Amino acid sequence: MKNIVITGGAGFIGSHVVRLFVNKYPEYNIINLDKLTYAGNLANLKDVEDKPNYKFVKMDICDFDAFYQLMQDEQIDGIIHLAAESHVDRSIKDPFTFARTNVMGTLSLLQAAKLYWESLPEKYEGKRFYHISTDEVYGALEMTHPEGIEPPFTTTASSSEHHLAYGEDFFYETTKYNPHSPYSASKASSDHFVRAYHDTYGMPTIVTNCSNNYGPYQFPEKLIPLFINNIRHRKPLPVYGKGENVRDWLYVVDHARAIDVIFHNGKVAETYNIGGFNEWKNIDIIKTVIATVDRLLGRPEGADLDLITYVTDRLGHDARYAIDSTKLQKELGWEPSLQFEEGIEKTVKWYLENEAWMDNITSGEYEKYYEDMYKNR
């Protein structure tokens, strides 16, 4: 039986990964390790919390001694590391927290794993440290409008008019790192530590860099759930600058599927980019979300367009991100399963059908509930 720790498993992406592994691999012991900061919410996993192969451990990844003891007690074979501070605006205001969690927390996990696995007779055989990172470590791509360029690949992620609509290049696994925010700088540093542990100690590591995710259970400080909730309550929709910044979007369940494939079949010491070949300007995303929410709520078409409010642009706001995930598709057979319009429809429906979850999040009640639940355990 494999014993796997998933860090940050109560968060947005992490909860989808935990759910997938718990349900798909009943022969594994899945340990969800999460500090339960503001973005961690065990309500995201109520459907699996009673499964016999699932266990929750409240822990700070920076607590080296506690994690090293957990490695020994649970005889951990694999680590899927998602725990991170991830909101750019928060990193601009408080870079120290991002450096502590994303850099020192990752280093704590690496060193604990190294010491435990090297103490075993088989050492690193059958072990794996999988680090999930972001496309933001690559910096920013230029905004251009090439004409007559056809994509050299096939994908079901989006209609082809979005491919290469905003530039002539993508982020590749070989793209030089050039982070522009405290968040992306902290993630870049953690990526380097992971690779260094392979090169120095021979630890079996893998790094993936993924584009923007969207879908159910995302904390409503991020664009799509924030705007769904604001539209629902007829609150302003704050748009940075002119909303011209471009991002590549991926449905979170497709990201979880990619993590599953890479964890089991990816090559040690390799990097894989995960993206949807699905570029959208922020303003176009916002208008799509408005149209979908209005339609599902029975409001007149365009009824909430007047909520759009343009605000001062974010400091160091990167113009464009776009991931090339051809390597992942060709080597491991993964590709996105949903077109963006279908994914947005599913996402909006979920938030509108789970108003209690959203209201609990925005009220902060869940934080006190789970703090009281676990403080005496």
- Catalytic residue numbers read 135-136, 183
Q: How far apart are CA 36 and CA 263, in angstroms?
A: 24
Strand partners, 33: 7, 57
**E strands along 211-348, which residues?**
212-214, 237-240, 246-251, 271-274, 279-281, 308-311
Cβ-based neighbours of 185, under 8 Å, separated by 6 or more: 179
Contact 130, 78 (CB under 8 A): yes
* SS3 (DSSP) at 81: strand
The residue whose two tokens read 């409010």 is 309
CA-based angle 119:125:129, to the nearest 5? 85
Closest CA to 58 of 37, 73, 79, 78: 37
Residue spans of alpha helices (H) in 40-104: 64-74, 88-93, 95-98
Cβ-based neighbours of 317, under 8 Å, separated by 6 or more: 240, 241, 245
Q: How far apart are CA 117 and CA 121, in angstroms?
A: 9
Q: Indicate the residue type of 45.
A: L
